[in-house]
């Protein structure tokens, strides 16, 4: 997606540890026009999948997730990272190791919102090692629903997440793929 690639090129800042900071349009300040285009593009790519739910993870997945759900005219659910006050039997729980925070968090989704028969599109802002996407997929599967695809705004293709998800049989669509962040420079795949 050229618009997004231009934005990454112009505004992305490479941090140490192979992390890309895009806080001017995705991770802090958000660009609603760009997010709307992201939603349209995921909708175009997954139009034949009869998606019934979009699932993402707070907080940076919410903007691309809600725009995709709006375009698809389906509900969006975001997995929570905080401990929920809800009774444990009412929620799906999975452990996810956070690439950026280097700690394991529990993510939770209420059982009310994903049901057997749902066709779920997972959306997230970044793909690195695939931990977040795998955790979300395990929640969908716990619910007896189906993951019909994984839509990623920015994939760091030099990290193994994309390959691991494809090997596990998931269809991954990334709008921008980065081959390297070496020497503080973004090189696209």
Total Cβ atoms within 10 A of residue 46: 22
Give the binding range for ligand 5GP (CB under 6 A) out of 14-22, 66-74, 75-83, 138-146. Answer: 14-22
By CB under 6 A, tell whether 24 contacts ligand 5GP. Answer: no
Nearest to 84 by CA among 111, 116, 64: 111
Instruction: Assess contact for 173 and 149: CB atoms under 8 A.
Output: yes
Is residue 157 annotated as involved in ligand binding? no
Alpha-carbon gap, residue 13 to 24, rounded angstroms: 10
Among 41, 71, 118, 124, binds ligand 5GP (CB under 6 A): 124
Q: Three-state SS for 19?
A: strand
Smallest distance from ligand 5GP to CB 50, Å: 26
Give the binding range for ligand 5GP (CB under 6 A) out of 39-47, 67-75, 109-117, 129-137. Answer: 129-137
Alpha-carbon gap, residue 87 to 110, rounded angstroms: 10
Count the residues in the chain: 189
Give the binding range for ligand 5GP (CB under 6 A) out of 42-50, 67-75, 82-90, 130-138. Answer: 130-138
Q: Which residues pair with 109 in a beta bridge?
A: 92
Interface positions, 53-72, toward ligand 5GP (CB under 6 A): 57, 60
Using the minimum distance from each CB to ligand 5GP, give the nearer residue, 1 or 164.
Answer: 164
Residues that bind ligand 5GP (CB under 6 A): 19-21, 27, 57, 60, 99-100, 124-133, 156, 161
């Amino acid at each position: 997606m050229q618009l997004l690639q231009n934005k990454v090129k112009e505004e992305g800042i490479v941090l140490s540890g192979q992390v890309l900071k895009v806080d001017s349009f995705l991770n802090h300040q958000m660009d609603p026009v760009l997010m709307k285009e992201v939603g349209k593009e995921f909708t175009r790519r997954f139009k034949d999948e009869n998606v019934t739910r979009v699932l993402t993870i707070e907080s940076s997945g919410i903007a691309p997730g809600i725009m995709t759900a709006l375009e698809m005219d389906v509900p969006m659910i975001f997995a929570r990272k905080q401990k929920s006050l809800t009774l444990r039997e009412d929620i799906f729980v999975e452990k996810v190791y956070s690439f950026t925070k280097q700690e394991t968090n529990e993510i939770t989704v209420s059982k009310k919102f994903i049901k057997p028969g749902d066709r779920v599109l997972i959306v997230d802002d970044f793909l690195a090692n695939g931990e977040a996407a795998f955790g979300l997929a395990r929640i969908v599967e716990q619910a007896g629903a189906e993951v019909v695809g994984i839509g990623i705004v920015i994939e760091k293709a030099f990290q193994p997440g994309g390959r691991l998800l494809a090997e596990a049989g998931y269809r991954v669509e990334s709008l921008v793929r980065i081959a390297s962040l070496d020497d503080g420079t973004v090189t696209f795949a």
